[in-house]
Structure 1
Amino acid sequence: MDRDVMNLSVVTFNAVWGDKEKNLNRIKGYIESAAKRGSDFIVFPEMSLTGYDDEAEKSLEEKMQFKLSETIPGEATDEIEKLTQQYGVYVVFGMPEKDAANPANLYNSLAIFSPEGLVGAYRKMHLPAPEPNWAKRGDKPFILDTPWGPVGCAICYDSYCFPELMRYYASKGCRLYINSTALAKCHGKALGTSTLEAAVIREGIYIASANLGGTDLYNEFWGGSSIIGPSRKTWEPYYFAGHKFTDEIACESEIFTATIDLSLASRSCSRTTRLSKEPIGAQINTSPCMKNPCKMRSLENN
Structure 2
Amino acid sequence: MPALVLAAAQTAPLAGDLSTNLARHLDFIALAARHGVTLLQFPELSLTGYELALARNCAVTLDDARLIPLAEAAQRHAMTIVAGAPLRLGDDTLRLAALIFGPDGAIGHYAKQYLHPGEDTVFLPGEAGLTLTLDDDARTRAALAICADTGHPEHPAAAKRSGAAVYSAGMLLSVNGYAADTQQLQGYAREHRMAVLLANYGAPSSGWQCAGGSALWDENGEHIAHAPANGEALLIAERRADGWHGRSISLD
TM-score normalised over the length of structure 1: 0.75
Deviations 1:226-273 (A, max 9, x none): 111134xxxxx2222214xxxxx41221001121149979xxxxxxxx
Q: Give the equivalent residue in structure 1 for 2:142.
A: 151
In structure 2, the residue matched to 1:4 is 2
Q: How do 1:128-277 and structure 2 match up within 5 A?
A: 128-147=116-135, 148-159=139-150, 161-185=151-175, 188-231=177-220, 237-243=221-227, 249-261=228-240
CA change 1:238–1:76 in 2 (3 A) is: farther
Cα offset for 1:217? 2.6
Distance (whole Å) between structure 2 residues aligned to residue 163 and residue 262 of structure 1: 30
- Amino acid of the structure 1 residue aligned with 2:195: Y
Counterpart secondary structure, 1:260: strand
Q: 1:53 deviation in Å?
A: 3.2
Q: Is it true that 1:98 corresponds to 2:88 in the alignment?
A: yes
Tell me if structure 2 keeps the 8 A contact 1:227–1:241: yes
SS in 1 for 2:30: helix
Question: Which whole-Å CA distance do the structure 2 matches of 1:109 and 1:79 have between them?
Answer: 18
Give the Cα–Cα distance (whole angstroms) in 2 for the partners of residues 9 and 203 of structure 1: 21
Question: Would you say the 8 A contact 2:39–2:134 is kept in 1?
Answer: no
SS of 2:223's partner is strand
Deviation at 1:212, TM superposition (A): 1.3
Corresponding residue pairs, total: 241
**2:198, 2:216 within 8 Å by CA — same for their partners in 1?**
yes
Aligned to 2:35: 37
2:38–2:134 Cα contact (<8 Å) kept: no
Residues 193 and 69 of structure 1: CA distance in aligned 2, closer, same or farther (over 3 Å):
same
CA RMSD of aligned residues (A): 1.9
Q: Which structure's CA Rg is the greater one?
A: 1
In structure 2, what residue type is equivalent to 1:21?
S
The code of the aligned residue for 2:144 comes to C
Pick the aligned partner of 2:100 from 112, 118, 124: 112
SS in 1 for 2:210: strand
Q: By how many angstroms is 1:213 displaced? A: 2.0
SS at match of 1:165: helix
Structure 1 contact 175–262 (Cα < 8 Å) conserved:
no
Deviation at 1:88, TM superposition (A): 1.1
Q: Gapped runs of 5+ residues in structure 1?
A: 55-62, 232-236, 244-248, 266-302
Offset of residue 46 of structure 1? 0.5
For the residues of structure 2 that align with 1:219 and 1:172, how far apart are their CA atoms?
33
Equivalent-residue separation in structure 1 for 2:123 and 2:243 (angstroms): 37
Distance 1:10 1:189, change over 3 A: closer
Equivalent position of 2:111 in the other structure: 123
Q: Deviations over 1:192-217 (max 9, x none)?
A: 11111111111111011101121113
Counterparts of 2:50 and 2:100, CA distance in 1: 19
Contact 1:143/1:153, CA 8 A, preserved across alignment: yes
- Kindly indicate whether the alpha-carbon contact (under 8 Å) linking 2:71 and 2:107 is maintained by their aligned counterparts in 1: no
Distance 2:179 2:4 in 1: 29
Distance 1:53 1:119, change over 3 A: closer
TM-score calculated relative to the size of structure 2: 0.89
One-letter amino acid of the structure 1 residue matched with residue 74 of structure 2? T
* Conservation of the 8 A alpha-carbon contact between 2:85 and 2:99: yes
Which amino acid is 2:124 matched to? Answer: K
Q: Which runs of 5+ in 2 are unaligned?
A: 245-252
Write the letter of the residue equivalent to 2:223: Y
Secondary structure at the aligned position of 1:258 is classed as: strand
Contact 1:16 1:50 in 2 (8 A): yes
